[in-house]
Structure 1
């Protein structure tokens, strides 16, 4: 089973710029959030959207910040313990109990780190230091050379939202912070590590191809994957030593998805679950969030809010113009 401990309370942050001693202490922070919102909530800056305050707040994006929180955990050696960050903005160094866990450079993805060796029973201290995006951009320009850019700033040299560095409709506010939820996940036996899904048309039928990878720990034993779409269920037995499985599900005569004004846009939920090899009512773990690009469209699989063996994908079967190829996508979530 998988256990989750949300780490969204008790956070503080501080400025690592020695030239600003008034900001060196522990300041209350909100997670998810960003440094601009935290400074504003603590009345330490003026509203950057008023007048030309974005100019007086420009120093924020050029400064290093550290976020901290303490949490209690039970260091169960029989389980895998992972820190999961749904979103970090952007150039960050993560430490647990004073030991470096990882460094990140991409705002647009989820990060998952095995901290089983660093987690201790009782109180643990987690810190995330956000380095200046400007400083990182300067390093990248020195390494790669100059690259043309529509706006001043290094937004074209890193995986960070480009509008931070200015746009014709908004100010230049180079943010930093834990902008999506963070949690500690503990699991044993097995879980779905990754799933890749594609859809094609095979004659008049829809063909859904699923490739799943498993993460295992300890004596997980045999298990099975159960997938269901459009009333069609498919079960795959996974041997004790197997780490992945691929299978197809054929959907008879699916309704096609059409662009706006050209027809309907029917959706087909796809449910995938991993189950114990001996019991149909004992879920092992749940799939992780993933984002895949297929045929130029986005397929997004989202995790359910509460621990559950299910994670759904909404699929669109579509005949692409002039190609006859189907596409698969989902509405924003």
Structure 2
């Protein structure tokens, strides 16, 4: 019964649950807690998928009644577990290798054609400037060669407060390593079959990392940053920059529904502590279910 329940739980957490959760837009008012919930759902889905096969292969039912059929069931269970783990590892390798190659190529191109602000002590120190009229601002994540890139077009359209707010937003992405969060969800989305996997999780997490960076920028840039960042988002909305969806960069530009959501959330100054606590507890509960099913029988047998 445990393998069946874990298998059903894995399918539920990989597809229907994210689609339903994405419709509850109120969770965006507490982006940090909402991100914990999404991470809990994703981790629980992986644990349930791996635990379904592992619990069947290591269970006592087939050992109590040994025979050809029992050994076949155990072998198939191990094969399924290995397949799930193999898909996760392969997806992680392919996604990680591709993203790092693209970022390395993009970084080399930017270093070749752009120049840096050189004023020491300035909020713009170290920022890379592209001599292009298209208003764009984004960051290139990396362990040692991270870049914050802004175009001359953006500097010409935005005032000083707006530029500072945008740069604070991009630096927040780099400090929090939001690229790794997006990469993890991209790996999961690719690893699960299309008929199970839901794109809703990846889309919502992309939005949440932008909201988190927006709020970090407001905290670090000081008074007036909320309004300045809102104006900058609208100004950069039409830019055709590579945004979070590309996986290569994280950008301040937004379009369509995401822009409207981010501007509305910038205007929301409430703490929403009760909602945050509820989401954190829910994340823990979601993760505890497959953990109990997987670890519980082994602890009982000790």
Is TM more than 0.5 here? no
> Whose strand proportion is higher, 1 or 2?
1
TM range (shorter): under 0.3
Calculate the TM-score normalised by the size of structure 1: 0.21
Richer in helix (by share): 2
TM-score, normalised on structure 2? 0.22
By relative contact order (CA 8 Å, sep 6+), the higher-ranking structure is: 2
